[in-house]
Amino acid sequence: MDVTIIAETTVDGLHPVTSQLVGAAIAIGGTPTVLCPGGIGTTAAASISGVSKVIGVKGDCFNTFDSGAWAAALNPLVSDGVIIAASAPSGREVAAQIAAMRGIPIIQDATGLEAGITVTRGIYSGKAIETSTVTAPCAITLRANAFDAAGEGGSAEVSTVNQSADVAVAVREAIAKASERLDVAEANIIISGGRGMGDPANFSHLNEIADMIGAAVGASRAAVDTWDEIPHGMQVGQTGKTVTPSLYIAVGISGAIQHLAGMRTSKYIVAINKDPDAPIFGVADYGIVATWEAALPALKEELGKL
């Protein structure tokens, strides 16, 4: 079965998720051709085990992100089988454009793929799982880290094609990411501190970890009431914000009922507290009985390795 993989690239080269796209394609019996937009990462792509061909698509249009232009440039090189891309901002948009160009269905953000082709994905923000079957020609985007990467040691043939399209979007100004922290109400990952942090200055450790994993920093009411430096906007709980992140890390928070009311429905809860009887351990999926002074540096180190 022909599979065209739209490689995910960054300014630094091939994004590692591309290996997972290949792994998934092979697992369902596909013969993957990898298209590299802008010709980026062709060498790395060719070394992924199982890839049959790599085509670097070079064109001026790849200097600016315009999903319509990228799709138009890539489309002539896409085969009639299955198209696989990463479920990432650019992959999703480009794949959807190609699917519309070819009049084929697209299924986004799959977390499971089996020969057939059976696609599994989360719906209703993960409150339910949908399993569907689809036949080629079709397009599927895959969620990062849901599929095993293919190995290394491949030696696919690499070719380059010049193909561009008119770009309709012009970048006027690039704006670096503002240093403002994510709001607890919107973040997918939250790390919160309680009075157990001892001093508001110690929230800097939480900030560092938050920056590493793109999390927001929250606080218990006790921390907000005790320290002026911890603003009310960070408060999670009965009289603060109610949050439902995928991951909630509670550090130095005992877990009083008022705090739980605000975060109890988080998908996964990690608690770090030196008191083994703290009520927070009653709701934690992973509870670590340790002081934050010992646990947070270890956490920072582990997260740095990911």
Partner 1 sequence: MDWCFPPSVGLPKIHRGGFSRQSAGDDMGIAVLLKQVPDTTAKISISGDRVDETAVSKWSMSPYDEYALEAALQLKEAGGEDIIAITCGPARAMKMLTDAAAVGADNLILIQDDGVTDSTHIQSLLAAAVKRSGADVVLCGKQAADTNGGSTGPGVSHLIGAACVGMISEVSAEGDGFIALRASPTGNERVEVSRPCLFTFDKGATELRRPNVRGIMMAKKKQIETVTPDDLGVTIGTSSVSLQSHSPPPVKPPGQKFEGADSVPEVVAKLRDEANVI
Partner 2 sequence: MAYEALDFYDIDSLLTDEERMVRDMVRDWVDEKILPNIEKACHDGVFPDEWRVDLGEMGILGAPLEGYGCPGLSYIAYGLICQELERGDSGVRSFASVQGSLAMYPIWNFGSEEQKNHYLPKMTTGEWIGCFGLTEPDYGSNPGDMITRAEDKGDHYLLNGAKMWITNGTIADLAVVWAKLDGVIRGFIVEKDDPGFTAPEMTGKHSLKASVTSELVFQDCKIPKDRMLPDAKGLEGPFSCLNNARYGISWGAVGAAQSCFSSAKEYALSRIQFDHPIASFQLVQNKLAWMLREITKAQLLAYHLGKKKDEGTWIPEHISLAKMNNVDIALDIARMARDIHGANGILDEYPVMRHMANLESVKTYEGTHDIHNLILGRYITGIQAFTRES
Q: Which of 88, 161, 212, 261 binds partner 2 (CB under 8 A)?
A: 261
Tokens (6 digits) for 189:
């990952």
Q: Which of 106, 113, 209, 224 binds partner 1 (CB under 8 A)?
A: 106
Closest CA to 8 of 134, 141, 99: 141
CB of 158 within 8 A of CB of 33? no
Per CB under 8 A, which of residues 191..230 are in contact with partner 2?
A: 221
260 binds partner 2 (CB under 8 A): yes
Distance between CA 105 and CA 95 in Å, rounded?
10
CB of 99 within 8 A of CB of 139? yes
The least distance separating partner 1 from the CB of residue 229, rounded to whole angstroms, comes to 26
- Which span (33-41, 111-119, 186-194, 233-241) binds partner 2, by CB under 8 A? 233-241
Q: Indicate the SS3 state at residue 75.
A: helix
Q: Which of 88, 202, 258, 290 binds partner 2 (CB under 8 A)?
A: 258
171 binds partner 2 (CB under 8 A): no
Which does residue 124 touch among partner 2, partner 1, none (CB within 5 to 8 A, set by kind)?
Answer: partner 1
Per CB under 8 A, which of residues 201..260 are in contact with partner 1?
A: 213, 246-247
Distance between CA 297 and CA 226 in Å, rounded?
25
- The residues that bridge with 82 in the sheet, in sequence order, are 3, 138
Amino acid at 261: A
Which does residue 27 touch among partner 2, partner 1, none (CB within 5 to 8 A, set by kind)?
Answer: none
Q: 31 or 244: whose CB is closer to partner 2?
A: 244
Q: Indicate the SS3 state at residue 52.
A: coil
- Which span (78-86, 88-96, 138-146, 254-262) binds partner 2, by CB under 8 A? 254-262
Q: 170 or 228: whose CB is closer to partner 1?
A: 170
- Which residues, other chains included, contact 125 with Cβ-Cβ below 8 Å and sequence gap of 6+? none
176 binds partner 1 (CB under 8 A): yes
Q: What angle do CA 279, 281, 284 make, to 5 degrees?
A: 130
Tokens (6 digits) for 153:
């040691």
CB of 143 within 8 A of CB of 37? no
125 binds partner 1 (CB under 8 A): yes
Q: 120 or 265: whose CB is closer to partner 2?
A: 265
Distance between CA 199 and CA 227 in Å, rounded?
8
278 binds partner 1 (CB under 8 A): no
Q: Which of 115, 129, 168, 257 binds partner 2 (CB under 8 A)?
A: 257
Q: What are the residues binding partner 2 (CB under 8 A)? A: 221, 237-239, 242, 257-258, 260-261, 264-265, 282
